Amino acid sequence: MKVFISGASGLVGSNCLKHFKEMGVETIGSYFSFETDDTVFFDTLMSEHPMNFDVIDFKPDVIVHCGALTHVDYCETHEEESYEKTVQSTINLIAIAKEINAKMVYLSTDYVFDGKNGPYREDAPVNPLSVYARHKLQAEQMVLAEIPGALVLRVTNVYGNELRGKNFIARIIDQCRNHQKLTLKLPVDQYASPADAWDIARAMYLLLTDGKSGIYHIGGSEYINRVELAQIVLKYFPDAEYELIPMSTAELNQPAARPLLGGFIMDKFLSEYPEFKFGTIDDYMKAEMIREAEEI
């Protein structure tokens, strides 16, 4: 199996690149705006860009699309850019996949649901509330319709190791380690199933090697809100100075609507892989504390 990963310098993409290589899979990962030592340049919006890695010549069996514009509130006020970076980029990769007869994996989100009846199974009715969510749903539906045997993994509240440390948990850890005071105004009524990017990579590898297709929900074993998530992380920094302010989503008045009861029921994946163990935020934090101690 040969794999090309679009967006491999990001959180999920970088973990997939690392895991696939460790499993002996011939894998090439690309970046667009953030270069890393183990990625090549590829602009999904300009397939003919002269600097682009030659995906067609590489002839991957699988194209994994991890790239998208993920700033939900920004998308709400920049609809055209959101479409380009989420939908049009997918259209362009679909064209390449068709030309070389490659399978596709698309990373989607629990934001395709309205959050009234979560957590959700794969066959639950979709009802996106925001520009970002509508574009993610449009892209996942196109992949499933256009590419035989395509795989869609819906994920949410992803955390884990990444070079830039942009994810929510990584930012809290960084501020605590740098002895910066935190002021966290967080929604107490938005629930999800936070997932470690490493678990997503491991799950994706299993699904691909077993030839699975369709939609799978991949999330952690915890179903918590943002306040609870922050509290788990902060307990590992007893000397941290912070102000944690629980608020309702209505009080936050965010530009884009959020699903309140999001997250996943993962019976489908776990029934097929009953021995698979998803990590918890505590597992991740304990590993981080050990890693930090070893570096001192």
99 C-beta neighbours (distance < 10 Å), count: 11
Contact between 263 and 110 (Cβ < 8 Å): yes
Residue 276 Ramachandran class (φ > 0 left, ψ -120 to 50 alpha, else beta): beta
**Residues 65/89, Cβ–Cβ less than 8 Å:** yes
Q: What is the pLDDT of residue 165?
A: 82
115 domain residue, yes or no: yes
- Report the largest interatomic distance among the alpha carbons of the chain, rounded to a whole angstrom: 56
Residue 180 domain flag: no
On whether residue 295 sits in a domain, the answer given is no
Q: Is residue 165 part of a domain?
A: no
| Per-residue pLDDT at 166 | 82
Q: Are strands 26-31 and 151-155 parallel, antiparallel or unpaired?
A: unpaired
* 232 assigned to some structural domain: no
Residue 106 inside a domain? The answer is yes
Residue at 181 is within a domain? no
pLDDT along the chain (296 residues), means of 10: 96 97 97 91 92 96 93 96 96 97 98 97 98 97 98 96 88 93 95 96 98 96 95 95 95 96 96 96 93 76
Phi-psi region of 131 (alpha: psi -120 to 50; beta: other; left: phi over 0): alpha
CATH code assigned at 217: 3.40.50.720
Question: Helix or strand or coil: residue 192?
Answer: strand
| Residues whose CB is less than 8 angstroms from the CB of residue 251 and which lie 6 or more positions away in sequence, other chains included | none
The pLDDT, as a whole number, for residue 78 is 97
Q: What confidence score (pLDDT) does residue 292 get?
A: 79
H helix intervals, 26-182: 55-58, 72-77, 79-82, 89-100, 131-146, 168-177
Q: Which domain holds residue 93?
A: 2-160+193-221+261-279
Supply the pTM of this predicted model. 0.95
> Are β-strands 191-192 and 224-225 bridged in parallel, bridged antiparallel, or unpaired?
antiparallel
Q: Does residue 146 belong to any structural domain of this protein?
A: yes
How many domains are contained in the chain? 1
